[in-house]
Structure 1
């Protein structure tokens, strides 16, 4: 489980540290307290950060990876409820007091993340300061994504769900390329592979994406957004609204909130 992941042998580098939006948003004072305890960790494709019911030992701040939160049914079928990339943190149950969750966290796109052990996270969160407020605001954005995903899966077509999924995933990788098989996408969306194949074929025929051997390249993002349902825009608008407060003044986030 988490302890089996490889920690990068290289020293912390500011550029990589700032690749996570939450870690970048904290003030120098907070950074000095938690930075020595962050471990740059390799997250291979398909790795499970935690299973349903596991007591969490760490949280993860992705830098160039994507992690999916999945609900797995008794018959093995699964569906994605949220996706986390460079903008957030995996393991909110640790600071929300639950310690565990019924979902599974799986690496959707390989890369790296900063791992912070629970004792250091809880110590900083208990100060009820900048880090506390920052994580709660992120949690609100994540809850919005979860709620909208449920509505989208219930009311919108597979074509629209695929568009939403592609846009959310790309936003969390800061690029226009994804490496993901149609089978894995189907597992994320909780639909049959044939449905994803048909939907992806339509997007490719329309010149929106190019798909080859698990490599998805978005060629026309404006058109992709146009073909998507309103769910992507709802999530993006709320996330942007909350992240507008994540500026980097000398006093940090809490300083701005008190102004």
Structure 2
């Protein structure tokens, strides 16, 4: 199958009007996004934006001592590289693939040219950006005020929404880097969920057994973020 035919696997691309999508099709490139691959580093000028299809990308802030914490996740609902059309050109965070898969990339100039047309793409990208900012703000609140168990539940739910199945491949080290906590804390929280029959956890594989229980054990932060995405983005984004 021609790679351009599955652009609908990214909901943001699927939401584009036909005329705008046709302008992008010759420029969109299908790319593999392996686990741990860095799409951009802090302060580096971006040359492409990425539209994940089956991969999930984590936006991380990395401190001078090497410690890091996740500020947002982007999957098949969105785009990686919003600083390009927001006018900054670069950003102080790092984008790392947290769940391997595929996606599309588009040259920076093509995106900026479409954004500057001030048409449907501009309005769509600004609504997406508002939803992403909500996720970032809610993540900060969650990390400050809620338990590690609740944070892990929120993180698992956000990841599940961006995957087609119920299994997440993720090492303890990566999860601890995302949440900004020690590996021992992640292990303890995961074992709590496993003992409650919510997940099965072994060798870097997390399988969600009961999503309803997972949502009940999560704090309100997941619901706030999901409600904002559903409110701001078109029907193509609905699960």
TM-score normalised by L of structure 2? 0.97
Q: Hey, what does 1:52 align to over in structure 2? A: 42
Which residue of 124, 127, 142 corresponds with 2:132? 142
Counterparts of residues 167-178 of structure 1 (less than 5 Å):
167-178=157-168
Q: Hey, what does 2:199 align to over in structure 1? A: 209
1:106 correspondence with 2:86: no
CA-to-aligned-CA distance 1:144-176 (integer Å, 9 cap, x gap): 000000000000010000000000011111321
Q: Hey, what does 1:133 align to over in structure 2? A: 123
CA-to-aligned-CA distance 1:194-221 (integer Å, 9 cap, x gap): 1110000000000000011111100000
Q: Hey, what does 1:155 align to over in structure 2? A: 145
TM-fit CA distance, 1:12: 1.9
1:12 correspondence with 2:38: no
Equivalent-residue separation in structure 2 for 1:13 and 1:33 (angstroms): 12
Unaligned runs of 5+ in 1: 1-9, 248-259
Contact 2:4-2:25 at 8 Å conserved across structures: no
1:95 correspondence with 2:85: yes
Counterparts of residues 58-73 of structure 1 (less than 5 Å):
58-73=48-63
Q: Hey, what does 1:7 align to over in structure 2? A: none
1:240 correspondence with 2:230: yes
Q: Secondary structure at the match of 1:59?
A: strand
Q: CA RMSD in A?
A: 1.2
Q: Secondary structure at the match of 1:178?
A: strand
**Taking structure 1 as reference, are residues 13 and 119 closer, same or farther at Cα in structure 2, changes over 3 Å only?**
closer
CA-to-aligned-CA distance 1:82-126 (integer Å, 9 cap, x gap): 000000000000000000000000000111111000111111111
Q: Hey, what does 2:172 align to over in structure 1? A: 182
Q: Secondary structure at the match of 1:33?
A: helix
Which residue of 61, 74, 97 corresponds with 1:84? 74
Equivalent-residue separation in structure 2 for 1:130 and 1:175 (angstroms): 32
Q: Secondary structure at the match of 2:69?
A: strand
Equivalent-residue separation in structure 2 for 1:229 and 1:203 (angstroms): 14
TM-fit CA distance, 1:244: 3.6
Structure 1 runs (4+) deviating above 6 angstroms are none
Equivalent-residue separation in structure 2 for 1:206 and 1:49 (angstroms): 36
Q: Secondary structure at the match of 1:147?
A: helix
Q: Secondary structure at the match of 1:37?
A: coil
TM-fit CA distance, 1:13: 4.1
Contact 2:83-2:89 at 8 Å conserved across structures: yes
Q: What is the count of residue pairs matched by the alignment?
A: 237
TM-fit CA distance, 1:46: 0.4
**Taking structure 1 as reference, are residues 22 and 85 closer, same or farther at Cα in structure 2, changes over 3 Å only?**
same
